[in-house]
Amino acid sequence: MAEAAIPPDSTDATRPSAAATRLRRFRVDVGTIICAVALVQSLLLVALGYWGAQRLVSRVGESAHKVSHDRVEDNVLAFLAKTQAVVHAIGDSPSLHPLGEDGERSAEMLWTMLEEATELDSLGVASDDGHLLMAERYPVSAIRQVVRDPAFSTETWEYKRSVDIEGGDPRQRFATTRIESFRSDHDATERDWYREALARKAPVWTPPFHLADGEELGVSYAQPAERLDDEGRHLQSMVVVGHLSLGHLSTLVRQFGSRGPGESVLLSDDHHVLARSDHPDPVRALQWPEGGVLGAVHAHMLAYGISENVEDESFVVTHAGERYRVESSRIGPTGWELISWEPEAALLAGLERLVRWGLLLTLAFLAFALFISLRLSKLVTAPIEKLSQTARRIGRLELDDLPQQPSRVLEIQHLNQALDDSARSLRAFSKFVPVHLIRQLVAEGHALAPGGSPRRITAMFTDVEGFTSIAESLEAGVLVRQLTEYFNLAQRVFARHGGVVDKYMGDGIMVLWGAPLDLPDAEYRACLAARELHAEMAELNRRWQAEGLQPFHTRIGMHTGVVIAGVLGSSDRLSYTALGDVINAASRIEGSNKELGTRTLMSEATHAGLNGRLPTRRIEEQVALRGRQTRMVLYELLEENEAP
């Protein structure tokens, strides 16, 4: 009963206090909830992000390492395949023989194949009676023929210009420069490559050996080539062989480390080093893979039997306190082992650095989001209280000067919009509300209707001299192309000097300096743009004339003053433009160029803004502008070559 006796005014006075108490509790609760949710979400995102990023980085690193390793393996296989293809092609030749007429044809064939196979140092064929025919690239270019007698061998060397010469007559390339003959004890049947190929009756890759000069190591690929008589019985055994130096393999192996910090090594089937990228020079002596990272990798492979495995292997080796990721694969036709390694730190450092930066940015974003959430929880109650006051005023039909409460919170914005719609409806349907108040409130929503404001600008109009006759003489496509190039050039010039193109009118352009934004020294900038437009058009006209096109000569008029600038037009079709006498006068000034024989004219107001910084010429007589009763003083803007 006591509450019912409370006067209305005192009841209204007590409501804000109670609401404020509730709002404070609401703000604390919302802030606590948002903080807890954001903190838990941040911790989960950071933990999951770091875990996932670490796995991704590791897999990307492994893939990159495997791709580099496979690229070297593919290059080595292609290198060996070409060598095998050359040897097989020679072995399939019907006229193959180291002596006689077939020997001459075989020599030409060996020389031609050696020219094509740049990776080979020599190509040859040996028969079971000890005869040998070989085309040599290293150490000298020559055709070597060994005729074996029971007591000794006779060697004949036909020296050539160079097997690597390209172009010209093939006979000249094969021409002999000098000949040497001498006795020797050379017997091809005693060579390892000959014995192995005949013993296995299949193509073989030999272990590394010293080449003829003793300074290079090489390997050989040998293939048996048996010849039968007309009745299909064994007639003669021959072996075709190709020698190549390990320097070629070293070049291929070094490709692994060419794009990163890794190294690679090629081991023979008996674990000798054939080629390696961690030394600048080719392998010149037989050596075991000992010492350094290679020694640690090789020891690991022996300990775990990896060197005997024909499948590709990936593993990690620790050396000198640093972990290395290793790839190992078998080079099929040779039994060789390709090994490559990269330090994990170098392999993953860049990606891990990116991950750390990403995590830091994520934390920074979450911190910012948390800050915004806290601010939102503190500020959300104030708009609600003000909106409740607005609702009470609407309930009392106090519709004048209702405050707006814009908010980024969707629900509050919806409530604000609903109250605003209610007030608009009441204003529209309340017949007792005075008309002048309706007009005043509607005027407050001017952003939805056309409007403008006074602004001091410099207006420019341009026109192409004689455009009508130009348009009549050109095809439509050519005219459009020239206009497009002209407008593009003009737009760039105006933009560099702060001008805003208002509209294009046929071949004419209307440009504003000082609208929609204030622009200091607008007159000077507009004049600079006019001079630059003429200069660049002169260059464009020269190019057009070289193409047989007609030039464009631009005429310009400028005036400075106050206009009405803003969004103007109908209720459903608006545009930003400027209206006023200044615009009309600028257009008329541009048209006066035709009568005065000038290119660039300006009003006295524009000339005053120049302060003598650019050369001008006063038109002695005041000019009558079409459509205007008063005459105007005009000035011509002079070019640099026209300055007095």
Instruction: Report the distance separating Cα 189 and Cα 177, nearest Å.
Output: 30
More confident residue, 41 or 546: 546
What is the pLDDT averaged over residues 505-525? Answer: 88
Token pair in block for residue 375: 């601010």
pTM for the predicted model, two decimal places: 0.48
Residue 201 φ then ψ, to 5°: 55, 35
Task: Centre a 10 Å sphere on the Cβ of residue 540 and count the other Cβ atoms it contains.
Answer: 16
Burial class from Cβ neighbours inside 10 Å (0-12, 13-18, 19+) for residue 519 reads buried
Q: Range with the lowest mean pLDDT among 23-32, 178-187, 534-543, 620-629? A: 23-32
pLDDT at 264: 84
Are the CB atoms for 15 and 336 separated by under 8 Å? no
Residue-wise pLDDT for 138-179, tens only, equals: 778 888 889 988 888 888 998 888 777 777 777 777 888 899
What is the pLDDT averaged over residues 230-240? Answer: 75
Q: What is the mean pLDDT of the chain?
A: 78
pLDDT at 533: 93
H-helix segments, 126-231: 170-173, 192-200
- 349 contact partners, CB below 8 Å, separation of at least 6: none
What is the pLDDT averaged over residues 273-301? Answer: 81
pLDDT at 15: 45
Token pair in block for residue 565: 């600038």
pLDDT at 257: 58
pLDDT band for position 511 (50/70/90)?
very high
Instruction: Report the distance separating Cα 262 and Cα 497, nearest Å.
Output: 54
Instruction: Report the distance separating Cα 617 and Cα 613, nearest Å.
Output: 13
pLDDT at 83 over 90: no
pLDDT at 135 over 70: yes
pLDDT at 382 over 70: no
Task: Centre a 10 Å sphere on the Cβ of residue 589 and count the other Cβ atoms it contains.
Answer: 26
pLDDT at 20: 42
The 3-class secondary structure across 529-566, one letter per residue, is HHHHHHHHHHHHHHHHHHCCCCCCCEEEEEEEEEEEEE
